[in-house]
Amino acid sequence: MSPQSRVVMLVDLDYFFAQLEELRNPTLKGKPIVVGMYSGRTEESGAVSTSNYLARKFNVKSGLPLFLAKKRLEGKEAVFLPVDYDYYQQVSNKIMKVLRGFADSLEQAGIDEAYLDVTRRTQGSFEKAQLLVEEMKRAIKQQVGVTFSVGVGPNKLVAKIASDMHKPDGVTVIRPEEVKTFLSPLPVDSLLGVGKKTVVKMAEMGIKTIGDLSRIDVQRLVEAFGKILGIYFYNASNGVDNEPVQEAGEAESIGRMGTLKENTRDVDFIMQRIDQQIDEIFTELTTKDLSFRQVGISAVMTDLSGKSRAKTLDRPAKDRETIHKAARELFEKYLAETDLEIRRVGVRVAMFSREERQQRQLTSFFSPG
């Protein structure tokens, strides 16, 4: 055991959208399931969002046009379903909440994945981490009913790549002394930030694997890819990644919405309701330690038409009063523009910042995968 090493996990839910469709309708199990994003132009147009592992056997995977998926699954009793993002989001929130209970800190990296730093609670032991994963799997299976795959490593980079090795329902543990051997044979595009263009460029330089990349002089990488990426590739290929696991204030905005006790045009009455909502928002902001630079309101009128308005502040704020004042101002202005009564109201804050978030994180250059 190396006491200096962190123990970091990446938890990634298996065939997420499709697994959740199985969860709410267990009779689907045993059939190929395709969750599709229907573009709506014709009944067949659109692409596969994801599919279960049975469908993947017929080479039906994310991104495949739906008409091709239909063709490949003809006569296989396949089930095609549209994405139900609200439902997936709801289950995702529940999963993240359970996972948070197993982590020193948790950083959500997508709807179906999160990084967990478990260094403290495992005392830096990868053996204990493995046991913790088993415990997590049981808890999520029991409380939510789904499976996931996990990568465990000394940092986020290794954990992420390891999570892909044994799917579904797998665990892959890479100890610090195993990192180089683990990474070295993998193709360069296993690294976050290495896309098609970079693969071509690296191939021209004779670089195919992460091991090849790790043997290139950092200066050459900087010349070829610029300073930020060059140094990143150099570090990443050597398994070096010091980025902390931190709660990132995932949401773009935090808001609340609710129906008024009676329809009204009275700003004081509206603000009573809004103040309750602000209290809840404020609690969330405080726990996440976020400042905001935008306050927005929304209103649904008696004819069920809806409107939102937002105000951007000169500088970030983190207090209740700023939200209250901006919201009141927005409602006053909005009421002056309409004769209708308001039925539902909401308030939200957005454009977040936070002290430590101002240090630019390298992985945030790349979208989570």
Which residues of this protein are in contact with Ca ion, per CB under 5 A? Answer: 12-13, 16, 112-113
Considering only residues 8, 12, 292, 295, which one is a binding residue for ligand DCP as defined by CB under 6 A?
A: 12
Residue 112 vs 241, nearer CB to ligand DCP: 112
Query: Of the listed 21, 22, 107, 113, which one is catalytic?
Result: 113
Q: State yes or no: residue 112 binds ligand DCP (CB under 6 A).
A: yes
Residue 26 touches which member of ligand DCP, Ca ion, none, C-beta under 5-8 Å by kind: none
Contact 130, 152 (CB under 8 A): yes
Residue 11 vs 278, nearer CB to ligand DCP: 11
Per the annotation, the verdict on 113 as an active-site residue is: yes
- Report the half-sphere exposure of 45 (CA within 13 A, side-chain side): 4
- Name the segment binding ligand DCP (CB under 6 A); options: 12-20, 24-32, 94-102, 302-310: 12-20
Tell me how many residues contact ligand DCP (CB under 6 A).
13
Considering only residues 7, 34, 50, 103, which one is a binding residue for ligand DCP as defined by CB under 6 A?
A: 50
Instruction: Kindly state the smallest distance separating residue 168's Cβ from ligand DCP, in Å.
Output: 6
- Residue 286: strand, helix, or coil: helix
- Name the segment binding ligand DCP (CB under 6 A); options: 6-14, 67-75, 233-241, 331-339: 6-14
Q: How many other β-carbons are positioned within 10 Å of the β-carbon of residue 99?
A: 19
Q: How many other β-carbons are positioned within 10 Å of the β-carbon of residue 195?
A: 10
Considering only residues 8, 13, 274, 278, which one is a binding residue for ligand DCP as defined by CB under 6 A?
A: 13
**Sheet containing strand 292-301, strands side by side:** 253-264, 342-350, 292-301, 306-317
Q: How many other β-carbons are positioned within 10 Å of the β-carbon of residue 242?
A: 10
Q: How many other β-carbons are positioned within 10 Å of the β-carbon of residue 132?
A: 21
For helices 320-336 and 267-288, what crossing angle results, to 10°?
140
Q: How many other β-carbons are positioned within 10 Å of the β-carbon of residue 213?
A: 23
Residue 50 vs 363, nearer CB to ligand DCP: 50
For the annotated catalytic residues, the residue numbers are: 113
